[in-house]
Structure 1
Amino acid sequence: MPKVELNLEDDELKELLLGDRDKAMQSIMAKILDKILKSEATEQIKAKAYERSDERTNSRNGYRVRQLTTRVGTLELHVPKLRHGNFSTQLFKRYQRSEQAFDLALMEMVIQGVSTRKVAEMVLVQIFLADLILVYWVPRNEGLRA
Structure 2
Amino acid sequence: MAHDQITVDAQLLHQLFLRDTKDEALAKLLESVLNQILQAQATEQLRAEPYERTEERQGYRNGTYPHQLT
The two structures have a TM-score, normalised by structure 1, of 0.41
Q: Which runs of 5+ in 1 are unaligned?
A: 68-74, 77-146
**Residues 29 and 57 of structure 1, relative CA distance in 2, 3 Å threshold:** same
- The percentage of counterpart residues that share the same residue type is 35
The alignment yields a C-alpha RMSD, in angstroms, of 2.0
Q: Which residue of 2 aligns with 1:37?
A: 38
- The residue that corresponds to 2:62 in the other structure is 61
Distance in 1, Cα, partners of 2:49 & 2:42: 9
Report the Cα offset of residue 40 of structure 1.
1.2
Alpha-carbon distance in 2 for matches of 1:3, 1:21: 29
TM value normalised by structure 2: 0.77
In proportion to residue count, which structure has more helix? 1
Deviation at 1:10, TM superposition (A): 2.5
Q: Secondary structure of the equivalent of 2:64? A: strand
Higher normalized strand content (fraction of residues): 1
Taking the TM superposition and a 5 Å limit, the aligned residue runs for 1:1-146 are 1-19=1-19, 20-63=21-64, 75=69
In structure 2, how many angstroms separate the alpha carbons of the residues matched to 1:64 and 1:52?
20
**Structure 1 ranges of 4+ moved more than 4 A:** 64-67
Across the two proteins, how many residue pairs are aligned to each other?
69
1:35-58 deviation line (CA, Å, top 9, x unaligned): 111111112211111222111111
Q: Is the Cα–Cα contact under 8 Å of residues 35 and 66 in structure 2 kept in the other structure?
A: no
Bigger-Rg structure (1/2): 1
